[in-house]
């Protein structure tokens, strides 16, 4: 996130697109409520009438996968009315002229035709966003999990720069990261193309620095992503080491994933439960939960926060840090760290933006990177005065319609996502008594009129079939889902939503298109 969570409370306009914050990030929703109390206007763009939409001022229920047309329409109106921040663009952004040509290619009416929102509403929302003195854009998986996911984000950046709503205290872009340390994992370089702190693998002097530090030659060729590695099981990739992940449930088109997992010559899974993925492993190593280890998580606002060990792991399980040290030493690397704090000091040296992050400084409130040295107080919001690359750059987002749209055989839209009571693959939360009591069975939300047509009552069984597989879930009849679309949470192993999902990837980010695919829904046998 460019700014901090508590900054949201001061924003005069919050533009939430593709994020069900009330269910996925309830505490951040609390800040949005504070903004509403302070007079901020909240606009929600989501095909579903989520709890956020229910509490917002304006809810735009767009057609699934048509975010760029809406944003283009808004930007066109902002340009026509001259509401854009010319002085900000002049001083701090490049490529405006070429971007203007792209925007002029769009009209509000065309945008409205594609995304299903009346032109007047597009104009009104654009004005509110542009005119407010500090506007924030909040987005989540609803934006990124499309074939044009990265283009959606680019369009949002363009909108933000167009109106100059970045680099101040209560403006900026708020990607709500889904997991407790997904930000940290990216920061620490668990990505095929970058070392820690996003230092590119291809850059020779960076590589030299790491080779010198780690005492081993390093490859300059970016590696494969998760989806590519799974697809090339038994061919390019023979040995796989999975730590605390459950691709057998979280990857799209999960039937193929399960077959691929069998094709590895040697698969090691390190986890705390026997997850669906661990069952296919040749070697299972018992890791430890957050309560049994010391270390740091980085949350969505770039804040390093301490995690302290409360109890010992069960049986002879070890904490993940020690397992990795054992494996490292077994491979001849020098992994003799006494404690995670040692590792942090090595990170301080090798990753400049995290130079000043030490354990005793994290004690009180954690630190937000970039924090280059021990005196630096951490950065509350980014891009103040200048962008990291100097001047910002307008990039033209090219809109790609969802790969698999409804047709005669599969007339329904399917969207998968999170619900408030469970977390991701459910390995942790479905074992909690209170959460299992809240929701314990897989369900699909369908519109009341569709349910009537199907002759299905509340809780009745419905069979949902896509080109890749079929599952049976309970029907949850509600008017918050549009007619002809169904929403299924993916937390339930016994009816894996990801059996249905389409493995089409965004070319850049390789993120699968979880939010849109075509399915058929019939009355199932209970």
Residue among 107, 273, 493, 520 that touches other proteins (CB under 8 A): 273
Question: For residue 264, how many other CB atoms are within 10 A of its CB?
Answer: 20
Pairing of strands 512-513, 502-505: antiparallel
| Cβ proximity to other proteins, 15 vs 99, nearer residue | 15
Dihedral, CA atoms, 163, 135, 507, 490, nearest 10 degrees? -160
CB of 267 vs other proteins, minimal distance in Å: 9
Which among 82, 87, 79 has a CA at the least distance from the CA of 106?
79
Residue among 83, 128, 186, 461 that touches other proteins (CB under 8 A): 186
CB of 481 vs other proteins, minimal distance in Å: 10
Q: Strand ranges (DSSP E) for 119-195?
A: 135-139, 172-175, 194-195
Residue among 80, 83, 178, 231 that touches other proteins (CB under 8 A): 178
| Cβ proximity to other proteins, 312 vs 409, nearer residue | 312
Can you tell me the distance from the alpha carbon of 144 to that of 511, in angstroms, rounded to the nearest whole number? 7
Query: Do 65 and 515 meet the contact criterion of CB atoms below 8 Å apart?
Result: yes
Instruction: Please state, in angstroms and as integers, the Cα–Cα distance from residue 350 to each residue in 34, 128, 171, 195, 382, following that order.
Output: 40, 44, 31, 10, 22
* Structural element, H or E, at residue 36: helix 26-37
DSSP 351-374: -GGGTT--HHHHTTT-EESP--ST
Residue among 156, 162, 227, 488 that touches other proteins (CB under 8 A): 227
Of 399-428, which residues contact other proteins (CB under 8 A)? 419-423, 428
Is 287 a residue that touches other proteins (CB under 8 A)?
yes
CB of 388 vs other proteins, minimal distance in Å: 20
| Cβ proximity to other proteins, 158 vs 187, nearer residue | 187
Helix (H, G, I), strand (E, B) or coil at 477: strand
| Cβ proximity to other proteins, 298 vs 466, nearer residue | 298
Instruction: Please state, in angstroms and as integers, the Cα–Cα distance from residue 263 to each residue in 228, 229, 230, 246, 319, following that order.
Output: 14, 11, 9, 17, 29
| Cβ proximity to other proteins, 343 vs 382, nearer residue | 343
CB-side exposure of 171: number of CA atoms within 13 Å?
A: 21
Can you tell me the distance from the alpha carbon of 252 to that of 143, in angstroms, rounded to the nearest whole number? 17
| Cβ proximity to other proteins, 49 vs 523, nearer residue | 49
| Cβ proximity to other proteins, 131 vs 480, nearer residue | 480
Residue among 68, 75, 108, 237 that touches other proteins (CB under 8 A): 237
| Cβ proximity to other proteins, 317 vs 405, nearer residue | 317
Can you tell me the distance from the alpha carbon of 137 to that of 1, in angstroms, rounded to the nearest whole number? 10
Is 326 a residue that touches other proteins (CB under 8 A)?
yes
Of 39-78, which residues contact other proteins (CB under 8 A)? 49-51, 53-61
| Cβ proximity to other proteins, 96 vs 443, nearer residue | 443
Please tell me the total number of residues recorded for the chain in this structure: 526
CB of 186 vs other proteins, minimal distance in Å: 5
CB of 361 vs other proteins, minimal distance in Å: 9
Of 464-523, which residues contact other proteins (CB under 8 A)? 476-480, 509-512, 514
CB of 407 vs other proteins, minimal distance in Å: 23
**Cis before 69 (ω within 30):** no
Is 358 a residue that touches other proteins (CB under 8 A)?
no
Residue among 87, 205, 212, 360 that touches other proteins (CB under 8 A): 360
Stretch that binds other proteins, among 101-109, 250-258, 399-407, 517-525 (CB under 8 A): 250-258
Of 138-157, which residues contact other proteins (CB under 8 A)? 141, 145
Which among 320, 274, 270, 273 has a CA at the least distance from the CA of 293?
320
CB of 98 vs other proteins, minimal distance in Å: 30
CB of 154 vs other proteins, minimal distance in Å: 17
Can you tell me the distance from the alpha carbon of 368 to that of 357, in angstroms, rounded to the nearest whole number? 9
Is 164 a residue that touches other proteins (CB under 8 A)?
no
String of contacts with other proteins for each residue 423-462, x by CB under 8 A:
x----xx-xxxxx-xxx---x----x---------x----
Region for residue 93 given its phi and psi (left: phi exceeds 0; alpha: psi -120 to 50; beta: otherwise): beta
CB of 487 vs other proteins, minimal distance in Å: 12
């Amino acid at each position: 996130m460019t700014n901090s969570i508590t900054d949201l409370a001061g924003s005069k306009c919050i533009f939430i697109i593709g994020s069900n914050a009330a269910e996925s990030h309830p505490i951040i929703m609390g800040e949005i409520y504070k903004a509403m109390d302070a007079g901020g206007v909240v606009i929600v763009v989501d095909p579903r009438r989520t709890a956020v939409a229910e509490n917002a001022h304006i809810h735009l229920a767009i057609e699934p996968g048509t975010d760029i047309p809406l944003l283009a329409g808004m930007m066109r109106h902002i340009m026509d009315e001259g509401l854009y921040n010319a002085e900000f663009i002049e001083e701090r952004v490049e490529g405006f002229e070429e971007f203007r040509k792209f925007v002029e290619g769009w009209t509000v009416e065309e945008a409205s035709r594609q995304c299903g929102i009346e032109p007047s509403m597009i104009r009104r929302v654009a004005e509110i966003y542009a005119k407010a003195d500090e506007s924030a854009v909040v987005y989540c998986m609803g934006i990124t999990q499309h074939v044009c996911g990265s283009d959606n984000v680019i369009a949002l950046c363009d909108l933000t720069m167009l109106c100059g709503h970045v680099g101040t205290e209560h403006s900026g872009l708020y990607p709500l990261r889904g997991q407790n340390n997904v930000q940290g994992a990216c920061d620490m370089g668990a990505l095929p193309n970058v070392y820690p702190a996003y230092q590119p693998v291809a850059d020779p002097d960076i590589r030299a620095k790491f080779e010198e530090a780690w005492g081993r030659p390093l490859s300059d060729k970016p590696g494969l992503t998760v989806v590519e590695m799974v697809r090339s099981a038994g061919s390019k990739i023979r040995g796989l080491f999975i730590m605390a992940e459950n691709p057998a449930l979280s990857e799209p088109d999960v039937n193929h994933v399960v077959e691929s997992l069998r094709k590895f010559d040697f698969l090691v899974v390190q986890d705390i439960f026997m997850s669906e993925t661990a069952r296919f492993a040749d070697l299972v190593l018992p890791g430890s939960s957050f309560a049994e280890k010391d270390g740091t998580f980085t949350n969505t606002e770039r804040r390093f926060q301490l995690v302290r060990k409360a109890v010992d792991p069960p049986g002879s399980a070890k904490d993940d840090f020690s397992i990795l040290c054992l494996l490292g030493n077994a491979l001849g690397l020098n992994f003799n760290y006494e404690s995670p704090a040692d590792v942090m000091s090595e990170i301080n040296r090798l990753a400049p933006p995290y130079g000043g992050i030490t354990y005793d400084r994290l004690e009180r409130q954690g630190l937000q990177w970039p924090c280059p040295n021990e005196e630096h107080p951490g950065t509350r919001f980014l891009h103040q005065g200048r962008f990291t690359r100097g001047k910002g750059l307008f990039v033209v987002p090219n809109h790609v319609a969802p790969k698999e749209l409804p047709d005669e055989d599969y007339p329904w839209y399917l969207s998968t996502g999170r619900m408030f009571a469970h977390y991701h693959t459910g390995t942790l939360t479905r074992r909690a008594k209170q959460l299992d009591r809240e929701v314990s069975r897989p369900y699909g939300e369908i519109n009341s009129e569709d349910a009537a047509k199907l002759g299905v009552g509340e809780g009745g069984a419905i069979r949902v079939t896509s080109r890749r597989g079929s599952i049976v879930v309970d029907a949850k009849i509600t008017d918050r889902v549009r007619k002809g679309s169904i929403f299924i949470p993916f937390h339930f192993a016994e009816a894996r939503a990801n059996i249905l999902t389409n493995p089409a990837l965004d070319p850049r980010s390789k993120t699968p298109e979880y939010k849109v695919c075509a399915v058929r829904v019939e009355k199932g046998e209970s």
